[in-house]
């Protein structure tokens, strides 16, 4: 008998929905892509509707609906923590009451209103947060046996867990509990360096190579005690999240030479060095926990999830250390992925459905993470014709790839909208902005004229999987852009001078023969592209290689600063016209900026999206 399970994550950040049928992933998407509200935490009505449509089922046909964490256990943590702290936690307690008592305890009512039914099972079931993370890591992985590591800010009580997956079963073996958290430690530095918590952690990671880790020993001495077995403790005198609404305290300010940086103000040498220092400490902690997981489980494979698993630098070090023979990281490692993990958990552990086989052309069960909506050529052309937008219809994919390769070789930058949208925070060639990595000005142009974001932020390369070792010190596939690897020494040029206070001077230094994707420490966040996972993107890279001899391109997410990644053709066209992109590919249609009619924006998009 066929089975179908709907997984839901909501009410914190990055709400999402996912459907699993007979053990196979059918669809998954974040709510933000539909509502255009970045990190949208609201109940994922739009994402649920998409998943049901993609699965061609009615809500009444669902065998289970599962929520990704336990609101009661979350409430238990809030009550106990605030009671322990006492009166100083009053403001936090009021905010938590509004969140948990006002919303999170009423998940079933939200499902009733959205679906009108609770499916065949008759009720919503609940997973624990880190079990959902563990399921999202292990079940889609290629492994039948793996250690499982989940790392995030907090879920109910747990912040770090070590587990073991075998066949269809997952056992969580060890955990570290709130308030001790690697995710919250990293977020404290995100806040202190002037970036937004739960959004700016990418910036902190990108900033780290511009500094020196001169505060690392101070962090180890005062903030965190990392033990040989991978366990750790934080000194809570320096953190404000336990008893207040700030991430750090006055003691933290004193320890690190002054108050937090004001958002959007100039980034000083202190922030650069703080970023480098916390990155070093977090990486060391991840390595220690990884060694413990290897010893605890005896497994040669590792599956990884949780928000901290999006730290590509730590992931790269974990792979290079050789603690495990193979490492697989959930591409939607944060809370959005909890919806997928919960659905898989209910399918395999609750309903007893065996794990599905790995689909043809893929190396895992995640299907390249292309799990979101797609639009047919007919739908795209109907939209363009209705709006009166100029385009060329190019039916032959090879000809279309040729035209893109020619434009990219000429220094143009374009948007690529192709196939099903990615699930997770990375654009992987389905909703991407691409450019020529050989050009020194590509990074600055993309940051300042297209993304409208800070100039220091690096860009990632997408490279043909068969050619990756020609550019990078990497001996494994990296399909989800979750590993940082060094650029081969033979391609490097010069030395990066970090002594200057002028960050633009550092940014503009050419460091290799592919300068647009070579970070200041000669590293890159790599996506390897195979023909089986995304045939058209592979074709674009192949045609660019035939034309230029270079088989990689800059690949960044298709959005502007503060905006969610585009979902629909309309989203893509608006982003295209709001920026200085030169061309846009919408499935088999190519649009040139110079041929488009005058664009009248219907909103102040900078005001709407705000600062990320």
Dump pLDDT digits (tens) for 381-418: 999 999 999 999 999 999 999 999 999 999 999 999 99
CA–CA gap between residue 544 and residue 444 (Å, rounded):
22
Q: Is residue 159 part of a domain?
A: no
Q: What is the pLDDT of residues 512-531, one digit of tens each?
A: 999 999 999 999 999 999 99
Q: In the listed set 129, 150, 185, which residue is the last one of a domain according to the structure?
A: 129
H or E segment to which residue 468 belongs:
helix 468-471
Q: Which H helix or E strand runs over 304?
A: strand 301-305
Residue 38 has pLDDT above 80, yes or no: yes
Contact residues for 607 (Cβ-Cβ < 8 A; gap 6+): none
pLDDT at 502: 67
Opening angle at CA 592, ends 587 and 593, nearest 5: 125
Let me know whether 318 and 414 are in one domain.
Answer: no
**Whole-structure pTM value:** 0.95
Give the Cα separation of 468 and 283 in Å (integer).
Answer: 24
- How crowded is the C-beta side of 174, counted as CA atoms within 13 Å? 18
- The structural domain count of the chain equals 3
Q: Classify burial at 571, counting beta carbons within 10 Å of its beta carbon; exposed 0-12, middle 13-18, buried 19 or more.
A: buried
Specify the length of the chain in residues: 612
Give the closest residue to 544 by CA, choosing from 442, 413, 409, 399. 409
Confidence of residue 108 (pLDDT cuts 50, 70, 90): confident
Report if residue 368 sits inside a domain: no
User: Model confidence at 121, in pLDDT bands (50, 70, 90)?
Assistant: low
CATH of the domain at 192: 3.30.420.40
User: What is the C-alpha to C-alpha distance for residues 452 and 445, in angstroms, rounded to an integer?
Assistant: 9
Whole-angstrom Cα distance, residue 126 to residue 43? 15
- Residue 166 pairs in a beta bridge with 145, 169
Residues 239 and 93 in one domain: no
The pLDDT of residue 468 is above 80: yes
pLDDT at 159: 98
- Asked whether the predicted pLDDT for residue 597 surpasses 90, the reply is yes
Q: Mark which of 129, 161, 194 sits at the end of a domain.
A: 129
Tell the burial category of 468 from Cβ atoms under 10 Å away from its Cβ (0-12, 13-18, 19+).
Answer: buried
Percent of the chain past pLDDT 70, that is, above it, reads 96
pLDDT > 80? residue 371: yes
pLDDT single digits (tens) 529-563: 999 999 999 999 999 999 999 999 999 999 998 99
**Residue 104's domain spans which residues?**
4-129
Alpha helices in 346-456 (DSSP H): 377-387, 397-409, 442-445
Quote the pLDDT of residue 143: 98
Domain-located, residue 289? yes
Confidence (pLDDT) at 525: 96
How sure is the predictor about 134, in pLDDT bands with cuts at 50, 70 and 90? Answer: very high
Token digits of residue 52: 């049901």
Tokens 């929905």 correspond to: 17
295/429 same-domain check: no
Q: How far apart are CA 342 and CA 139, in angstroms?
A: 11
Looking at the structure, tell me whether residues 112 and 186 fall in a common domain. no
The pLDDT of residue 605 is 66
Query: For helices 182-192 and 269-297, what crossing angle results, to 10°?
Result: 170
Q: What is the DSSP string of 153-196?
A: EEETTEEEEEEEEETTEEEEEEEEETT--HHHHHHHHHHHTT--
CATH number of the domain to which 420 belongs: 3.90.870.20
pLDDT for position 610:
67
- The last residue of one of the domains, among 328, 363, 392, is 328
Q: Both 231 and 302 in a single domain?
A: yes
Per-residue model confidence as pLDDT tens digits over 483-502:
999 999 999 987 776 767 66
Q: What mean pLDDT, rounded, does the chain reach?
A: 93
Where is average pLDDT lowest: 293-302, 333-342, 506-515? 506-515
pLDDT score, position 247:
94
Confidence band of 120 (pLDDT split at 50, 70, 90): low
Question: pLDDT band at residue 504, thresholds of 50, 70 and 90?
Answer: low
- Residues 183, 317, single domain; the answer is yes
In-domain check, residue 370: no
What gap in Å lies between CA 38 and CA 198, rounded to an integer? 11
State whether residue 394 is helix, strand or coil. coil
- Does residue 507 lie within any of the structural domains? yes
**CA angle (24 as vertex; 16, 375 as ends), nearest 5:** 60
| pLDDT value at residue 122 | 65
DSSP string spanning 570-611?
A: HHHHHHHHHTT--EEEETTEEEEGGGSPPP--SS-HHHHH--
DSSP-assigned beta bridge partners for residue 304: 149, 329
Query: Residue-wise over 119-144: b if at least 16 C-beta within 10 A, else e?
Result: bebeebebbbbbbbbbbbbbbbbebe
Say if residue 511 is in the same domain as residue 589.
yes
Q: How confident is the model at residue 72 (pLDDT cuts 50, 70, 90)?
A: confident
Question: Which one-letter DSSP state was computed for residue 529?
Answer: E
Query: Does any domain span residue 243?
Result: yes
Q: What is the mean pLDDT of residues 374-382?
A: 98
Distance, in Å, from the CA atom of 3 to the CA atom of 61, rounded to the nearest integer, reads 9
Question: What CATH number is given to the structural domain containing 96?
Answer: 3.30.420
Based on the domain organization, do 462 and 552 belong to the same domain?
yes
What confidence score (pLDDT) does residue 552 get?
Answer: 97
What is the per-residue pLDDT for 612?
67
Q: Which of 169, 277, 160, 162 has the alpha carbon at shortest distance from 213?
A: 277
Q: How far is Cα of residue 359 from the mean position of the Cα atoms in its chain?
A: 23
Nearest to 51 by CA among 14, 5, 116, 118: 5
274 with 399, same domain? Answer: no
**Cα–Cα distance list, 423 to 152, 320, 552, 555, 585 (Å):** 19, 26, 22, 16, 20
pLDDT bracket for residue 457 (50, 70, 90)? confident
Residue 361 neighbours by CB under 8 Å, 6+ apart: 530, 531, 532, 533
Q: Is the pLDDT assigned to residue 601 strictly greater than 80?
A: no
Angle at 477 between CA 472 and CA 479, to 5 degrees: 105
Location of structure tokens 């207040």? 244
Domain shared by 471 and 579, yes or no: yes
Nearest-angstrom CA–CA distance, 401 and 537: 8
Residue 569 confidence (pLDDT): 98
Sequence-distant (6+) residues with CB within 8 A of 323 are: 287, 290, 291, 294, 302
Task: Identify the pLDDT of residue 320.
Answer: 96
Q: Are residues 180 and 125 in the same domain?
A: no
In the chain, count H helices and then E strands: 21, 21
| 179: its two tokens | 């308030």
Helix (H) / strand (E) element for 254: namely helix 250-255
How would you write 30-54 as a 3-class SS string?
ECHHHHCCCCCCCCCHHHHHHHHHH
Asked whether the predicted pLDDT for residue 439 surpasses 70, the reply is yes
Q: Which residues contact 458 (CB under 8 A, 6 or more apart)?
A: 206, 443, 517, 519, 524, 525
Query: Is 521 within a domain?
Result: yes
Does 337 fall in a domain?
Answer: no
Q: Do 431 and 521 fall within a single domain?
A: yes
Query: If pLDDT is split at 50, 70 and 90, which confidence band does 5 have?
Result: very high
């Amino acid at each position: 008998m066929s089975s179908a399970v709907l997984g839901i994550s909501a009410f914190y950040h990055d709400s999402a929905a996912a459907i699993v049928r007979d053990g196979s992933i059918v669809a998954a998407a974040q709510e933000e892509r539909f509502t255009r509200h970045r990190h949208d935490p609201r109940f994922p009505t739009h994402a649920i509707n998409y998943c049901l449509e993609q699965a061609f089922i009615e809500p009444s046909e669902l065998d289970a609906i599962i929520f990704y964490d336990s609101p009661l256990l979350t409430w238990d943590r809030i009550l106990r923590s605030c009671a322990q702290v006492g009166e100083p936690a009053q403001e936090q307690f009021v905010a938590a009451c509004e969140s948990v008592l006002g919303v999170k305890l009423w998940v079933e009512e939200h499902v009733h209103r959205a679906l009108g039914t609770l499916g065949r099972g008759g009720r919503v079931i609940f997973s624990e947060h880190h079990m959902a993370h563990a399921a999202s890591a292990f079940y889609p992985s290629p492994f039948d046996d793996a250690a499982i590591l989940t790392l995030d800010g907090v879920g109910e009580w747990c912040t770090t867990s070590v587990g073991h997956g075998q066949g269809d079963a997952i056992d969580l073996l060890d955990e570290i509990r709130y308030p001790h958290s690697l995710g919250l430690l990293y977020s404290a530095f995100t806040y202190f360096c002037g970036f937004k918590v739960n959004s700016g952690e990418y910036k902190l990671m990108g900033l780290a190579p511009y500094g020196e880790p001169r505060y690392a020993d101070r962090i180890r001495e005062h903030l965190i005690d990392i033990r040989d077995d991978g366990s750790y403790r934080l000194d809570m005198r320096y953190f404000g999240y336990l008893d207040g609404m700030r991430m750090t305290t006055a003691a933290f300010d004193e320890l690190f030479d002054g108050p937090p940086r004001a958002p959007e103000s100039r980034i000083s040498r202190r922030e650069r060095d703080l970023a480098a220092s916390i990155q070093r400490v977090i990486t060391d902690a991840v390595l220690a926990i990884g060694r413990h997981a290897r010893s605890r489980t005896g497994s040669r494979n590792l599956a990884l999830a949780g928000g901290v698993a999006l730290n590509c630098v730590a992931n790269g070090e974990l792979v290079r250390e050789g603690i495990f023979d193979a490492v697989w990281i959930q591409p939607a490692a944060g809370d959005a992925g909890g919806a997928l993990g919960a659905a898989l958990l209910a399918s395999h552990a609750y309903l007893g459905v065996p794990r599905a086989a790995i689909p043809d052309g893929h190396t895992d069960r995640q299907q390249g993470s292309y799990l979101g909506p797609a639009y047919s050529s007919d739908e795209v052309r109907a939209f363009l014709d209705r709006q009166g937008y100029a385009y060329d219809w190019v039916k032959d994919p090879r000809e279309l790839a040729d035209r893109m390769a020619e434009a990219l070789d000429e220094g143009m930058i374009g948007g690529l909208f192709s196939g099903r949208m990615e699930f997770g925070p990375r654009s992987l060639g389905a909703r991407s902005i691409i450019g020529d990595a050989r050009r020194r000005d590509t990074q600055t142009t993309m940051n300042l004229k297209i993304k409208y974001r800070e100039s220091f932020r690096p860009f990632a390369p997408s490279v043909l999987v068969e050619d990756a070792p020609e550019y990078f010190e990497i001996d494994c596939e990296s399909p989800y852009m979750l590993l940082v690897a060094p650029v081969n020494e033979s391609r490097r040029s010069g030395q990066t001078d970090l002594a200057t206070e002028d960050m633009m001077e550092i940014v503009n230094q050419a460091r290799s023969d592919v300068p647009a994707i070579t970070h200041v420490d000669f590293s890159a966040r790599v996506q390897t592209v195979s023909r089986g996972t995304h045939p058209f993107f592979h074709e674009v890279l192949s045609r660019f290689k035939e034309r230029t001899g270079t088989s990689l391109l800059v690949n960044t997410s298709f959005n502007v600063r503060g905006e969610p990644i585009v979902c629909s053709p309309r989203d893509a066209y608006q982003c295209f016209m709001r920026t200085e992109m030169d061309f846009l590919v919408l499935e088999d249609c190519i649009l040139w900026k110079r041929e488009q009619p005058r664009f009248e924006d219907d909103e102040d998009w900078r005001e709407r999206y705000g600062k990320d």
